[in-house]
Structure 1
Amino acid sequence: MGTLLSFTALFASIYLVQLGSGSLGPLDALSGAVVGFSTEEIGLLGSAHFVGYIVGCYVTPRLIGDIGHTRTFAAAAAIGAIGALLHPVIEGPLTWALLRVLTGLAIAAAYTVVESWLHAKTDNQNRGRVYGIFRVVDLVGALSAQGIIAVLEPASYAAYNLVAMFCCLCLLPLALSQRVAPATPKAPRLRPIKAALLSPAAVLGIIVAGITGAGFRMVGPIYGLENGLTQTQIAIFLASAILGGVAAQYPVGWVADKTDRRRVLLGLSVLAAVSCLGIATLMEPGNAAGFYLGAFVFGLTAYPIYSVSAAYANDLAAADFMVELNAALIFFYSLGAIVSPTISAWLIAEAGPEAMFFFMAAVHIALVAFTLFRMTQRHGTGPRTPYRYIPRTSMLLGRMFKGSNGRSGGSGGSAKD
């Protein structure tokens, strides 16, 4: 208990980071609609966020090596606050897109610092408990952010000032903590080609998770507006998907630890495609309860795909490649997340709101087809590493599990894909 309490400052900081980052995306979408941005321009804002995010994931470990954890976190908070504060000062889709690059970079940097700190200050005996608290804090922060969206006035100084305030407040727990910052970590190399060759099916699952997750989060508010939902209802709509993802983790994890994970990935993809088609064809504008249920089922089926794909890829990886592998998976997730908001917004503008979920159904169907093809190429075996819910937060997250996955080394087998 004492060990967990000693990380309170880090947990408090990451909760405040999630409050700011989780509310900024939907706020920008709603604000863009208020000030007259086109649907495509609003989608560009979501894509810009993940451009900054992937840059932040890549450069932050090196920045930590130059100036340390605390100064890097302070710089990230300052950049995030500036990016939020400038939104109502300088209006325009391209300007806001540049600001979202900055805030995306800041969010990635903040997560990288915290996760690096947690890894350095834990060991195999307490890492699982510490990580369990970390993921609960992250999820509670995400849900809390949706509640904030329900009461913020879009395109107002007060709304963006509140987001900036969270960026500033996240500094206080670390600044007032007496814990000594850890030693500088070694930055993982980014080796996406090796990861893709290790398991093409897992990498495609990661990309699909980026497409569906980012599209829903960044363009979901516009989908809600097009279907007659109020701002409060949009907040509940977004939160319902998060709750669905949370509810799925234990049962999906239990199944994924007992069978070939490609079968689990296949089943989730089929169900996700069905849920997307159901939302696209059955939802009636103004039926808030129906949208809540649809979003919950969507989160239940689509959100676990990242964790299943990551666990599957880790089954194949040598112990000394796991950190680099998980860095590459964040890279592939970001690729999907960059293109998805722009495509989803364009489809809504051209073909109506239901087109967004038809698009998501199509990418899940593609994942089903590719997974079936890969299953004909190699025979599967049982899982070799335990399933875990994995947030898409930084390229250093893989360090949290290295050495505690039940494997002491060796190379990944070739019996699976």
Structure 2
Amino acid sequence: MQLPPGFGRKGENRVYKLHKSLYGLKQASRQWFLKLFAALKAGGVSQSWFDYSLFVRNIEGRFTALLIYVDDVIVAGNNLQDIIATKQFLASRFKLKDMGQLRYFLGIEVARSKQGIALCQRKYALEVLEDADFLGAKPSKFPVDQNLVLTQGEGVELKDAAQYRRLVGRLIYLTITRPDLVYAVHILSQFMDRPRQPHLEAAYKVLRYVKQTPGQGILLPSTGQLEIKAYCDADWARCKDTRRSTTGYYIFLGNAPISWKTKKQGTVSRSSAEAEYRSMATTCCEITWIRNLLRDLNVKHTHAVKLFCNNQVAIHIASNPVFHERTKHIEIDCHVVREKVQRGLVKTMHIRTQEQPADLFTKPLGSKQFSTLLNKLGVINIHSNLRGSIEERNPL
């Protein structure tokens, strides 16, 4: 911002003192959050230590949770009167617009039925296809070709890199409810600096897959025990440029998928067992955070979390405290797995590679194997599988 004419003198440097937060200023979001935080604290709501956008209140078994995104708030609880009272309290402090039952939030569509809650981004996916002029494109049954190998120096460099960055950025947001896209988008996002023609063609392949199933999303079932199950996998030396391995994990709460990720490892692993062990360490960190978050949500999880891995050597390293000659170079932070196992918080278990759902997050698969593992992830298309069965129900 510039000083108005006549307020500044030659040689003077002045700054503005902010008395009230305004949209567009760098301080505005921080000032708004402090004001909202003070109001919620006065209303007896406490902030979660593990997710600063989550606020909870638990009084004599009546639980209320508020999830904040800037000035948008989701209110949920097990007592309708407390939810109404919370809305009235917020309305007394701020100018509030009650949107009713949750149906659409930040591009995520919410549908309820007796089977559970379905989340998808169909409207957003169609907007992405329209923006890229792919609404009439030929659909594809899988997002990545099995033999696809992308490198930084292969192909002709794109003249308009902004087009590629915009497309990949929009696909990243689509992975919120689309775990089937995570690996493909992870690969594409590695070439944002200097994208080339093969990278753009691979992105178009993802768009054709989205065209096949724009309404695909996840189902949070209303039945099942609230126990955490985690699956982790690694692909040794997957990156051809750096020879670093790829980590992937997928976590369930009961039968509901709640967390997934694909990430390139920070260092080069000397063996596939080391890569798998590092993947287990990353998954254990996520498990620890989820357990703490569940505690804030008034969900007790007393059992050891089952961590499934398809590498027997990595499982032995995690459970056996005896010194291993070939693993003495591994950083100490990776041994978080061994600590969790010894404390009884995590229980490592073996799973066959053909049945490992996390395999979907570490490497490109064939059409048959991709479809088989996708069915294990709790991914559905409500516009085809459950058409006519989804109905609006009361909020949780």
Instruction: Classify the TM-score, shorter chain.
Output: under 0.3
Rg larger in structure? 2
> TM (normalized to structure 1)?
0.26
> TM (normalized to structure 2)?
0.27
- The structure with the greater share of residues assigned to helix is 1
Larger RCO (CA under 8 A, 6+ residues apart): 1
